[in-house]
Structure 1
């Protein structure tokens, strides 16, 4: 036996409580890839980047590099089908190749959409290339309470969470892909204040709402030196008045002061904002 290979050996489980599998072992089958289905409740659409990836797989297809898609049986309108939980790009590439009629797949137990979405999250939560947007919608389909709260806050604020990067409509407003920042915002500030912060940006009817925008408004709405100095609607008005000029000025300010962009943007917006709360307090 070669000296540079090693046998699989168990590691110590001291201090662990091993989990007994909740379902049976997966089974392996060979299927025609065109008989497989994808559920948009937790799977992203195939964009331009995905098409490029699929075309690369077709051009370089090699069984030695093939990873079987993970699937689950599902009932759709009384018909039993196989849904792809992980590996739709591989399945589409195989279906597109004139040299491949069947592929091996691994079938796991996941009886409904919620279980399938949870399986998808488990397969992809640590994988590079799977976006936070995709994981958010998968968690939403799985009934995750944090995902439902995040979606509810955005819905109430009038903000649409896109399903994938690059899906922005140049003519649209109230769109975002900043789910990670919004999730952190809700964890720090709660549902109510988070909605108020997001509403300030939504009501400005700007293009994509970016993470820097959210952080800047959060800072102004929570900083003791700023939060009592303006009404939220006046901050919205300042954002509308400045438009993209604010970000150009913030870029320069961030470089000169060595500040993060969100702090520079907050400073620019605050300078433009009417200081009504301050005036009203002293008038009383």
Structure 2
């Protein structure tokens, strides 16, 4: 590249930077009257004017970059966050390195950006300012919990959510965003329940809910507790050819005890096992001893293992 061409490109870059700065739209101001100043603004910024400072972002591994590539949707992109470097006529990225990388791969040459306009002028202090922002970039983000996504999943036709919603209505079951003991007809864990229907299908979850309902546990505290749901899920998985027999047997057998006693009996029989694992083993014992069928579940080193013939 000749010196003249390089000079012309540098001149265009400086002009482009100055034009963006001159047209930044104020977003947030502080102070009043003459003391009022803009601390954040918005602009559409060419990727060619952006850079990532490896001094504080050099160890970023981007474990989820492929997910961003595969689920890329311009409508869902949040603006990247920039700090201007007027002496270099470019912008440092303090939040959005992944979007910056993937946008370039997708042939996109510019992104919406929020520009932090109150960064220190001193380069050393500005570096600390940027590093501090980078560290805390997600500290004020409130992630949407799985149960908070339920209605949206139903609307968009998510198969697992639709099946779950149908069964919740069928059996009159609710879910809540709290931890601890559950009142009657309340799921112990929305996430676990969604996972059951997503991985094993609607029939598996209907099997579980129906047994709980027949046993009267739907009216008991913790009737839909995780230790109950997982135990019933595991016998459904382990014994595909005996599911109808198991359903009839457990519907009657579990009517004789409440969930709290069931949990205590399981722990008493397997005191050295994890609580949820002990419940799985206890239900397996009930079913296999009661129906005279072969046991197919045991737990080794805290992990569930199936024994095949």
TM range (shorter): 0.3 to 0.5
TM-score by length of 2: 0.43
TM-score by length of 1: 0.46
Higher relative contact order (CA 8 A, sep 6+): 1
Q: Which of these two proteins has the greater Rg computed from alpha carbons? A: 2
